[in-house]
Amino acid sequence: MVMCYHGNSSKGAAQYLLQQGYDVVYSIDGGFEAWQRQFPAEVAYGA
């Protein structure tokens, strides 16, 4: 699983991992920002 803040950079990183032979790679659409909106109680600040 690859994640960045907005989900843009992680797409390229995930593609690179697939090219390197990894079979299962996930990039989180919307990145950390989308995760935080979906699961606000699960995100720790200042950790």
- Which residues does the annotation mark as catalytic? 4
Angle at the Cα of 29 (from 14 to 26), degrees rounded to 5?
Answer: 35
Size (the chain), residues: 47
Give dist(CA 20, CA 27) in Å, integer. Answer: 15
